[in-house]
Amino acid sequence: MSERVDWPGTALVVGCGLIGTSVALALSVRGTTVHLRDATPGVAEVAASLGAGSAEPPGTAPDLVVVAVPPAAVPDLAACLLREFPSAVVTDVASVKAPVARALGGTADAVRFVGGHPMAGTERSGPMAGSALLFEGRPWALVPVDGTSPEALERVLSVVTALDAAPVVMEPDEHDRAVALVSHVPHLVSVLTAGLLAVAPREHVELAGPGLRDVTRIAGSATGMWLQILDSNAGAVAGLLRSLRGDLDRVLDALDAGGDVLAGRLSDVLDAGRAGTRRIPGKHGDAVTVSNAVVFVPVDDRPGVLSALMADIGESGVNIEDFRIDHEYGRPVGLAQIEVAAERADHLTASLAERGWTPYR
Amino acid sequence: MSERVDWPGTALVVGCGLIGTSVALALSVRGTTVHLRDATPGVAEVAASLGAGSAEPPGTAPDLVVVAVPPAAVPDLAACLLREFPSAVVTDVASVKAPVARALGGTADAVRFVGGHPMAGTERSGPMAGSALLFEGRPWALVPVDGTSPEALERVLSVVTALDAAPVVMEPDEHDRAVALVSHVPHLVSVLTAGLLAVAPREHVELAGPGLRDVTRIAGSATGMWLQILDSNAGAVAGLLRSLRGDLDRVLDALDAGGDVLAGRLSDVLDAGRAGTRRIPGKHGDAVTVSNAVVFVPVDDRPGVLSALMADIGESGVNIEDFRIDHEYGRPVGLAQIEVAAERADHLTASLAERGWTPYR
């Protein structure tokens, strides 16, 4: 990372939240002169103090303008910035792309505009949460509008690649259907499931295990941004949710019918779900491999225990594909879940047992 | 763990799958003489070879019989075993409890029967997946039926406690509603969301991130057992799913309405989801604390890297509350997510940066 970029020599980042500040940091470390602007007084200065660039207006015309404001404000502001900087390529980072494509597509300035959407973020927001590394390895959708020039697309593509993200060029509507599928509908489903817990008896919720925590984790996110996202992608989200409701109704029919009807229909539904999980890109961008195995190791909740465990895994020579800790209900103990290539799991288990752990599979 | 138990001196475990073998292993290491029985030839012998007990029939009457067969077979088999061993306390491990309560409640033998359900398991099945440690810190529901004696309940309660699980005594219908909430409905929701991926264009699924992987992880489980579970708890599951469908319809209405109606209704839905996640028991059995912070560290995909990272975290003196690795799309790099007490996050970040990592928050 941090290889210097030839272009843009000068960039203006408008909106210094998590994403804007992260773009500015990532460009700054690669040698671009970055200027920062934010509607809220003091925010650009905070980002500047983190090394994201200068809070002063650019002295020369910027080559690139990045619009990193909340999604609802993007279409009007992008149009305004295209007029303010008539030689700049302008891109944005809003998570829904049809509104800006509708606003700018077919205009004279569209030649210099490329929609963008980095698939990155954290639960935190604001410039303090920014990081030059936020986009490393993440998909970054690039969405030309009606009239975008190949040169502008090529420019933004080169920037995204330099930021170590994985660019994916898409049509606006296709992008919005895709994020409804992989982000907006899963978010609502997680929220609705968690919502059932809000009104349930405490004794029921106390039986919760890791599966429920997985399903509901993203439902803990802040509300404000999600309202804008769902508002601006309401059509695509509603379309998929209706499809999901159709599937849900078929499950309800099967549950009511019972017996062979239940078994037949639900087994189709369960099989479709398994097939779906196998399509999610896993490590290294491949489909999730089924040839990994998980070794479980109970660990005490003391400083240094995980360090000792990792050292012993290192000694075994087995590479870790994935690693999680699940905390146990009601006691200060955790369960480490070490995912390794299936053919290495026995070796790891034996190696850890030799070193005094109590691994199991 | 592994303190010796006074009772049962002799136990018979019927059904040597994951749970039965794990119960047998856990009892064996605590000094109980365990006998194993399985309807499939050779399976009890496999469990015996793992140290779970003896595949020979018990020479003396067992004190405890554990029925660990697939849920649909439990009611008839439990009744049969109560007759076969007229002095034994009998318990089961089926994940739905009303059917066995209906079958045995009010019978003369009910005095010696206690329903049970350990909230533990893995994606794997069969005796080879068994572990004496499977139940450590996990909730284990105990479900007396009509006629269960206090003495029988007390006996099984003492065994569950000795196995380091956290016993929770519940009524059958209440148990089944609780597991519909924390397990069965989340499973179906995960399956339905994953099912949308099964039929989606590959370019859409490629934008997937960690949130989608969390929501759909449990949808990868095997189908067979889930059909029995959903069949035997169809009523409670359908009840909650209808409630969820009602919430889903309100979301669809809000999406169709747009504007202020959308913002008002969806903000209630999103807030309820956040409130729900805060009720899930987290570490040490407390509600999930909001005072933790996450430090992110990009790591290469080489053996020993995580070991080195853990060693450096250990050097910092900061205790790890939770730890995850997310693998990046399309490249051999991972992102370690280290959850620590919020007031320790800055110290950890500085300490790791000093040691050559590139942590961020």
**Cα–Cα distance between A164 and A153 in angstroms, integer?**
17
- For chain B positions 74-133, those within 8 Å of chain A (CB to CB) are 119-120, 122-124, 128-129, 131, 133
Nearest CB partner across the interface for A198, out of B272, B317, B328: B272
Q: What is the pLDDT of residue B304?
A: 72
Residues of A in contact with B138 (CB under 8 A): 209, 328-329
Nearest CB partner across the interface for A266, out of B194, B227, B285: B227
**Cα–Cα distance between B104 and B82 in angstroms, integer?**
10
Cross-chain Cβ contact A360/B230 below 8 Å: no
E strands, A123-165, are 139-144
Amino acid at the residue B127: P
Tokens linked to B349 = 């970040």
Q: What is the pLDDT of residue B210?
A: 80
- Phi then psi for residue B94, to 5 deg, are -65, 145
Residues of B in contact with A309 (CB under 8 A): 310
Residues of B in contact with A281 (CB under 8 A): 205-206, 208, 329-330
Nearest to B274 by CA among B262, B283, B287: B287
With CA atoms as reference, the chain B residue closest to A192 would be B273
Residues of A in contact with B281 (CB under 8 A): 205-206, 208, 329-330
Please, which residues bridge with residue A339 across strands? A294, A322
Q: Is residue A124's pLDDT more than 90? A: no
Nearest CB partner across the interface for B325, out of A122, A131, A322: A322
| The Cα angle at residue B186 between residues B184 and B189, in degrees rounded to 5 | 110
CA B231 vs CA A254, A259, A260, A339, B153: distances in Å = 9, 7, 10, 32, 27
Q: Does A297 touch chain B (CB under 8 A)?
A: no
Q: What is the pLDDT of residue B252?
A: 97
Q: What is the pLDDT of residue B332?
A: 53
Residues of A in contact with B221 (CB under 8 A): 274
Positions of chain B with pLDDT under 50: 283-290, 329-330
pLDDT in tens, A147-177: 999 999 999 999 999 999 999 999 999 999 9
Give chain A's mean pLDDT.
89
Contacts of B283 (CB under 8 A, 6+ apart): A301, A327, B289, B321, B322
Amino acid at the residue A256: D
To the nearest whole angstrom, how far is the Cα of A208 from the nearest Cα of chain B? 5
pLDDT in tens, A19-31: 999 999 999 999 9
Sheet architecture: strand order including A89-92: A33-37, A10-14, A64-67, A89-92, A113-118, A139-144, A166-169
Q: What is the pLDDT of residue A329?
A: 47
To the nearest whole angstrom, how far is the Cα of A176 from the nearest Cα of chain B? 9
* A2 pLDDT tier (thresholds 50, 70, 90): low
Q: What is the mean pLDDT of residues A110-117?
A: 98
Please, which residues bridge with residue A35 across strands? A12, A54
Residue reference for tokens 């889903």: B248
Question: Residue B216, exposed/middle/buried by CB under 10 A (0-12, 13-18, 19+)?
Answer: buried
| The Cα angle at residue A122 between residues A158 and A244, in degrees rounded to 5 | 95
DSSP state of A206: T
Q: Does B277 touch chain A (CB under 8 A)?
A: yes
Question: Residue B7, exposed/middle/buried by CB under 10 A (0-12, 13-18, 19+)?
Answer: middle
pTM score: 0.79
Tokens linked to A350 = 């034996």
More confident residue, A120 or A292: A120
**Cα–Cα distance between B213 and A160 in angstroms, integer?**
24
Q: Does A276 touch chain B (CB under 8 A)?
A: yes
Residues of A in contact with B333 (CB under 8 A): 136-137
E strands, chain A, are 10-14, 33-37, 64-67, 89-92, 113-118, 139-144, 166-169, 292-300, 322-327, 333-341
Q: How large is the angle between the packed helices B259-277 and A185-198, nearest 10 degrees? A: 60
Pairing of the two strands B322-327 and B166-169: unpaired
Residue reference for tokens 């779900």: A273
Q: Does A291 touch chain B (CB under 8 A)?
A: no
Cross-chain Cβ contact A193/B244 below 8 Å: yes
Residues of A in contact with B319 (CB under 8 A): 301-303
Tokens linked to A41 = 């007084």
Residues of B in contact with A123 (CB under 8 A): 294
pLDDT in tens, A195-245: 999 999 999 999 988 889 889 989 988 788 899 899 999 999 999 999 999
* A330 pLDDT tier (thresholds 50, 70, 90): very low
Torsion, Cα A109 A111 A114 A115, to 10 degrees, reads 50
Cross-chain Cβ contact B294/A123 below 8 Å: yes
Q: How large is the angle between the packed helices B234-257 and B259-277, nearest 10 degrees? A: 140
Q: What is the DSSP string of B301-357?
A: SSTTHHHHHHHHHHHHTPPPSEEEEEEPTTSSEEEEEEEEEGGGHHHHHHHHHHTT-
- For chain B positions 25-54, those within 8 Å of chain A (CB to CB) are none
CA B130 vs CA A126, A169, A338: distances in Å = 47, 48, 17
Q: Does A277 touch chain B (CB under 8 A)?
A: yes
Distance of CA B358 to the CA centre of its chain: 35
To the nearest whole angstrom, how far is the Cα of A326 from the nearest Cα of chain B? 8
pLDDT in tens, B347-357: 899 999 898 88
Q: Does A216 touch chain B (CB under 8 A)?
A: yes
Q: Does B261 touch chain A (CB under 8 A)?
A: no
Q: What is the pLDDT of residue B2?
A: 64
Residue reference for tokens 């439902």: A219
Nearest CB partner across the interface for A192, out of B119, B138, B248: B248
Set out the domains of chain A in order of their start, with CATH numbers: 10-170 (3.40.50.720), 176-257 (1.10.3660.10), 292-354 (3.30.70.260)
Contacts of A64 (CB under 8 A, 6+ apart): A7, A8, A10, A11, A12, A32, A88, A89, A90, A91, A155, A156, A159
Nearest CB partner across the interface for B219, out of A274, A320, A360: A274
Q: Does B301 touch chain A (CB under 8 A)?
A: yes
Q: What is the pLDDT of residue B305?
A: 79
Residues of B in contact with A249 (CB under 8 A): 245
Q: Is residue A282's pLDDT more than 80? A: no
Contacts of B244 (CB under 8 A, 6+ apart): A192, A193, A196, A248, B185, B189
CA B322 vs CA A125, A336, B294, B295, B337: distances in Å = 21, 10, 9, 11, 8
Nearest to B31 by CA among B1, B61, B58: B1
Q: For residue A8, is the peptide bond before it cis, meaning its omega torsion is within 30 degrees of 0?
A: yes
Give the number of A-B residue pairs with CB atoms closer than 8 Å: 477
R_g (Cα) of chain B, nearest Å: 24
Question: Residue B300, exposed/middle/buried by CB under 10 A (0-12, 13-18, 19+)?
Answer: exposed
Cross-chain Cβ contact A262/B186 below 8 Å: no
Nearest to B192 by CA among A174, A213, A313, A185: A185
Nearest CB partner across the interface for B197, out of A200, A263, A276: A276
Tokens linked to A140 = 């970054």
Residues of A in contact with B131 (CB under 8 A): 296, 360-361
To the nearest whole angstrom, how far is the Cα of A255 from the nearest Cα of chain B? 5
Q: Is residue A272's pLDDT more than 80? A: yes
Residues of A in contact with B209 (CB under 8 A): 119-120, 138-139, 182-183
Amino acid at the residue A196: L
**Cα–Cα distance between A147 and A85 in angstroms, integer?**
18
- For chain B positions 174-193, those within 8 Å of chain A (CB to CB) are 174, 177-179, 181-183, 185-193
Q: What is the pLDDT of residue A332?
A: 53
Side-chain half-sphere exposure of B135, counting CA atoms within 13 A: 29
Q: What is the DSSP string of B134-197?
A: TTTT-EEEEEE-TT--HHHHHHHHHHHHHTT-EEEE--HHHHHHHHIIIIIHHHHHHHHHHHHH
Tokens linked to A299 = 């660990």
- ipTM of this model? 0.78
With CA atoms as reference, the chain A residue closest to B358 would be A133
